[in-house]
Structure 1
Amino acid sequence: MLTPGEKARFFEKVETQLIVDEDLRLKPYRCPAGKLTIGVGRNLEDNGITRAEAYYLLRNDVDQCHRQLSLAIPFYDRLPSEKKEILLNMCFNMGLTRLLGFKRMLAAMAVNKWDEAAHEMGNSKWAFQVVDRARRLMEKMRG
C-alpha cells in the first residue's frame, strides 16, 4: 500500500510516461485505431467524459465567456444580473465574435431598451436556428 505522497509521485511518473507515449492534444483527433480522442489518449467514443468533467468544462467555459464579455462590452458589468445571463447564454452558444455582431441589440441594451433589444434578438438568423432558446431569452430580455 502506498502512502498518499508515494501514490502522488507514482502517478506523476506514470502520467509523464503517458504524455510521452500518447502526446497531449487539446483538440479532438483520431487515434491510430480510428477512435475520437482528446487530451492524453482519452478515448471519447468508448469512455466519453464523466458528469463531473462535463460540469468542470461548463464552469470554465462560462467563466471565459464572462471575462470576454466584461472586456468587450463596456456596459456589461453594470447590467442587471438577468441581462448578463442572457449575454452569457448567447456568448456560450455562438461565441463572442458572433454575439458582437448583434450591434442593434447591444446598442439597445446600453440604454436599457429591453423590448427593442429583444426585438433585435428575434430579427436574426440565430433566432431561427435555436427557436426555443431564442424565445426564452427574448422573453427574459423583455422582463
Structure 2
Amino acid sequence: MDIEKCKAEIKRHEGEVLEIYEDSLGYKTLGIGHLCQPEDPEYAWDIGTKVPQEVVDMYYESDFDKHLKETVHVFGDEKDFYALPENIQHVLVNMCFNLGGTRFSKFRNMLSACREHDWEKMAAEMEDSRWFKQVGRRSVELQASVLNTV
C-alpha cells in the first residue's frame, strides 16, 4: 500500500483546518478530521482557536495509523487485506477514517463483496447507505475507484 498516497487522498476528502471547529454533527474537531477527545489538551480550547501545523500533523499521523489498524481488523485478515488491489485498500481505509471503526464494521455486505472481489456488488453496497448520501463527492469518488478496479 502506498501510505503517502492514501494519506493524501484522505486529506483531500477531509480538508485541513488549522483551528478548533465544529464538525457537521457539532463535535469539536481540528486539523484533518481529528475528533477532539476529553483527554486532548485542545478539547478545552474554544471554537476558532488556532492550532499549530505540527499539532495537526501529529494527530493526523496517529489517527491514520489507528484507522489503518481498525480497517485491517474489521476486514478480518491482514494477509488478505494487503493482497487486495491497492485502490481497494485505500477506499476501505478512507471509509474507516471517515466513519470510525464501529460504523465501518456495519458495512457487512460491502465487506463481504470486497472479500469475494465482487467490485460491482461492493460499489452497490456502498451506495445503499446513508453514508453515501451524506458525504457527497467523497462517496462518488470512492465508488468510482472501486468500479475502476481491474
> TM-score, normalization: structure 1?
0.68
What RMSD, in angstroms, separates the aligned Cα atoms of the two structures? 2.3
Distance 1:51 1:62 in 2: 16
Correspondence 1:122 to 2:133: no
- Which of 69, 82, 86 is the equivalent residue of 1:67? 69
SS at match of 2:38: strand
Please tell me whether residue 27 in structure 1 is matched to residue 38 in structure 2: yes
Structure-2 residue corresponding to 1:15: none
Structure with the greater alpha carbon radius of gyration: 1
Report the AA paired with residue 70 of structure 1: V
**1:137: Cα distance to partner?**
0.4
Distance 1:67 1:134 in 2: 21
Q: Share of identical aligned residues, percent?
A: 25
* 1:50 paired residue number: 52
Correspondence list, 1:61-140, <5 A: 61-73=63-75, 74=77, 75-140=80-145
The CA distance in 2 between the partners of 1:41 and 1:87, in whole Å, is 28
Residue identity in the other structure for 1:81: E
Higher helix residue share = 1
Aligned equivalents of 1:76, 1:40: Cα separation in 2? 34
Q: Structure 1's 139 and 68: CA in aligned 2 closer, same or farther, altered over 3 A?
A: same
Query: Which one scores higher on RCO, CA 8 angstroms, separation ≥ 6?
Result: 2
Q: In the aligned structure 2, how far is the partner of 1:41 from the partner of 1:95?
A: 19
Unaligned residue ranges in structure 1 (runs of 5+):
1-25, 29-37
Cα deviation digits, residues 24-72 of structure 1 (max 9, x gap): xx517xxxxxxxxx51896344643112221221121111011122223
For each residue in 1:75-105, what CA deviation from the matched residue of structure 2 results, as whole angstroms up to 9, or x when unmatched?
A: 3232222111111111111111111111111
**Mind listing any 5+ residue stretches in structure 2 that lack a counterpart?**
1-36
- TM-score of the superposed pair, with normalisation by structure 2: 0.65
Larger CA deviation: 133-142 vs 70-79: 70-79
